[in-house]
Structure 1
Amino acid sequence: MAGREQIRVLIIDDSAVARHAMKTILEEDPNIVVIGTAADAFGAAKRIQEEVPDVITLDVEMPRMDGITFLRKLMAQCPLPVVMCSSLTEQGSDTMVQALEAGAVDVILKPRVGLAEHLSDHNLQIRDVIKAAARVRVNMRSARAGRAGPPEQKLTADAVLPPPSGRGMTRETERLVCLGASTGGTEALRTVLEALPATAPGVVVVQHMPENFTRAFANRLNSLCEVTVKEAENGDPVLPGHVLIAPGGKHMLIERRGTRYFVTVRDGPLVSRHRPSVDVLFRSAATAAGSNALGVIMTGMGDDGARGLLEMRQAGARTFAQDEATSIVFGMPKEAIALGAAERVLPLGHIARDVLYAATQ
């Protein structure tokens, strides 16, 4: 394959083991080529001057200049899609929230022990992250995207729960808003949730994010929003003015008990190669809430959530998709629109307003 058709990656990590393991994993895909590696930010800057990559993987903890500082400098001078690598620690989770706010498009976990084995066990997910990053429009500009090739076989929401049986119940309970997002979703969700008043309907969110990072993400949003935001726990009620974010590594489902809604958080197989999966959340909302629900699919690569949003619409829910112009990656919304799942297509800045209006109808 010609070099121009491959996703060109620069790996920045002070660990020689990590650089070698990441390079090996990425180059198992013929659509990805590692154009170089660097042990620190200064070596990386020199390498970027020689050849600009399509995607950078960047370690957080590096000598001479830490990854967050380098990321901020890079975004100010030469914005590129950057995937951060971090440990599983709570401190690492807080750092990753800072990285996402600074412009990183995604996160790869890097445990302190068993590094090579961990990366090898998650090789497909890592390559998917790189392919998604290559399609990101940094600062809303077109990215030099590599061609990702056909997707590998993946499970649907059938692996977790059966399809909805019908249109669901009549509108006799409080409204429920379901949001699903992936690449670029952390800042898009912030835009939507910051615009919600404390009187907004209850909101449930699936954002594709690794385990242990969603709590720090929820805490950060909670400090910025009028609504109360928290990482969901099994059995949490869905309440007006509250937002529940699915924990990384777990599926989140909606269930109805009487006239109230609650979330179930549980293990299960990857659905559309994700856990949590937007399809699982949306299908459960179609089954449990029907026309009482509103569904929104936002920026992200792939098609997770597209079929679930269609099931919500078929069950009587109001459904929305983020438009191409404001999506960092117009993958998930595009697939939903193509299926006829989205009743309306909206720019990011209008989603909160229009969903609130629809909830009163």
Structure 2
Amino acid sequence: MAKIRVLIVDDSALMRQILSSLLSSDPAIEVVGTAPDPLVAREKIKALNPDVMTLDVEMPGMDGIAFLEKVMTLRPMPVVMVSSLTEHGAEVTLRAMELGAVDVFCKPADAASGGFSGHAKELIDKVKGAAMSRVKALVNHGIRPPPKLAVTQIYKSTDRLVAIGSSTGGVEALRDVILALPPDSPPMVITQHIPPRFSASFAERLNGLAAVRVKEAIDNERILAGHVYIAPGDRHLTVKRSGAALMTHTFDGPLTSGHKPSVDVLFHSVAEVCGSNAVGVILTGMGRDGAEGLLAMRQAGANTLGEDEASCVVYGMPKAAKELGGVEKELPLTHIADEILKLCRDTARH
């Protein structure tokens, strides 16, 4: 098989050297070039035709976001953002992912002193996932209007809970689903593979756009209709009961299915606590996280949906769940929100 050809863009010579060394350690990856700024990167993209580009988020003297926007408009390609774990880094990276960047790799705090060594596999996996992704050209300079808001329905008579899992490409997929929800929609719990700090910024961005209330989940919080709870980037999210009420539970723990937060952890808890009073949804992502949990939800009587291959950035998690038997119905992303509301509305009528 042909190697994955990678171009590294970073203003730091040391970072270019570290990233090159880490990626080149995998026999399936070839670093074909490096660039210190967008001007050099633009010429190397033309000359080298890389499969994947890693792009530093914060580079003095340049606007990496403007560069990314031009790349995704004129020459769409898979891009992995290399970001710092700061509030500003999170904000800029989320904007980059809205523009079409596939994933984000966070620099360790001690990156300059060898802190990358324990993160080589993560970086390599993200580049491999990006190489498998489908990217599309931006239109309207990356400013996409929110999806048309669904017709408001009354869900007060149902205790349905919606659980969603996603990974690579999930930031934009979740945006499309959540912005299509009416203000009184059933409560929703979400596990998206995303770094710490980024989950809070992601929830805040969506909350400013959506008709529902979107927030990062905290421990022991009552789950309410019209609310969306997103798992913290470094903690598992589950649901539990306290009398008749559903509650969130966030906790530290080992990786499950290779991740923390884990979609499987969330789905298994929903299967156990909610049974048939739930809807499970698995969206774009690399790997198998969520496949076993979605099957457990379906076996417990829940309706289960999977994003179809054509609309996925990476058709990994939905494919694994489908092959295992966890997906009851597969749909394009544009139909997911409507189907969730339909399933909950039908239950409310009964």
Same structural fold, with TM-score higher than 0.5 when normalized by the shorter chain? yes
Structure 1 residue 61 corresponds to structure 2 residue 58: yes
Q: What letter matches 1:183 in structure 2?
A: T
Partner of 2:49: 52
**Residues 216 and 231, structure 2, Cα contact 8 Å, conserved in 1:** yes
Q: What letter matches 1:314 in structure 2?
A: Q
Partner of 2:102: 105
- The aligned runs of 1:1-361 (5 Å cut-off) are 5-111=2-108, 113-115=110-112, 117-139=114-136, 174-360=159-345, 361=347
CA shift, 1:274, in A, is 1.2
**Residues 18 and 116, structure 1, Cα contact 8 Å, conserved in 2:** no
Q: What letter matches 2:201 in structure 1?
A: A
- Tell me, in whole angstroms, the C-alpha distance in 1 between the residues paired with 2:206 and 2:27: 39
CA shift, 1:85, in A, is 1.1
CA shift, 1:173, in A, is 6.7
- Tell me, in whole angstroms, the C-alpha distance in 1 between the residues paired with 2:72 and 2:111: 31
- Tell me, in whole angstroms, the C-alpha distance in 1 between the residues paired with 2:100 and 2:122: 21
Q: Sort the Cα spacing of 1:140 and 1:61 in 2 relative to 1 into closer, same or farther, 3 A.
A: closer
- Give the secondary structure class of the aligned counterpart of 2:53: strand
Q: Sort the Cα spacing of 1:111 and 1:197 in 2 relative to 1 into closer, same or farther, 3 A.
A: same
- Residue deviations 1:98-144 (CA, integer Å, cap 9, x gap): 11111111111124543453321111111111111111111189xxx
**Residues 235 and 251, structure 2, Cα contact 8 Å, conserved in 1:** yes
**Residues 173 and 259, structure 1, Cα contact 8 Å, conserved in 2:** no
**Residues 86 and 111, structure 1, Cα contact 8 Å, conserved in 2:** no
- Give the secondary structure class of the aligned counterpart of 1:285: helix
Q: How many residue pairs were aligned? A: 328
- Tell me, in whole angstroms, the C-alpha distance in 2 between the residues paired with 1:56 and 1:91: 22
Kindly report the root-mean-square deviation, in angstroms, between the aligned alpha carbons of the 2 structures: 1.6
Q: What letter matches 2:101 in structure 1?
A: A
- Tell me, in whole angstroms, the C-alpha distance in 1 between the residues paired with 2:137 and 2:169: 11
CA shift, 1:48, in A, is 1.1
TM-score (normalizing by structure 1): 0.88
**Residues 173 and 260, structure 1, Cα contact 8 Å, conserved in 2:** no
Unaligned runs of 5+ residues in structure 2 are 139-156
CA shift, 1:21, in A, is 1.2
- Tell me, in whole angstroms, the C-alpha distance in 1 between the residues paired with 2:13 and 2:198: 25
Structure 1 stretch displaced more, 263-272 or 311-320: 263-272
- Tell me, in whole angstroms, the C-alpha distance in 1 between the residues paired with 2:323 and 2:137: 22
TM-score (normalizing by structure 2): 0.90
Q: What letter matches 1:212 in structure 2?
A: R
CA shift, 1:336, in A, is 0.7
CA shift, 1:63, in A, is 4.0
- Tell me, in whole angstroms, the C-alpha distance in 2 between the residues paired with 1:140 and 1:313: 36
CA shift, 1:73, in A, is 1.2
Q: What letter matches 2:320 in structure 1?
A: E
Structure 1 stretch displaced more, 110-119 or 284-293: 110-119
Q: What letter matches 1:220 in structure 2?
A: R
Q: What letter matches 2:239 in structure 1?
A: I
- Tell me, in whole angstroms, the C-alpha distance in 2 between the residues paired with 1:43 and 1:63: 15
Partner of 1:154: none
Q: What letter matches 1:239 in structure 2?
A: L
Q: Sort the Cα spacing of 1:342 and 1:52 in 2 relative to 1 into closer, same or farther, 3 A.
A: same
- Residue deviations 1:237-291 (CA, integer Å, cap 9, x gap): 2110000000101111111111111111111111222111111110111111111
Q: Sort the Cα spacing of 1:249 and 1:304 in 2 relative to 1 into closer, same or farther, 3 A.
A: same
- Give the secondary structure class of the aligned counterpart of 1:47: helix
- Residue deviations 1:303-351 (CA, integer Å, cap 9, x gap): 1101110011011111000111111111111111111101111111111
- Percent identity (aligned): 52
Structure 1 stretch displaced more, 31-40 or 59-68: 59-68
Structure 1 stretch displaced more, 30-39 or 61-70: 61-70
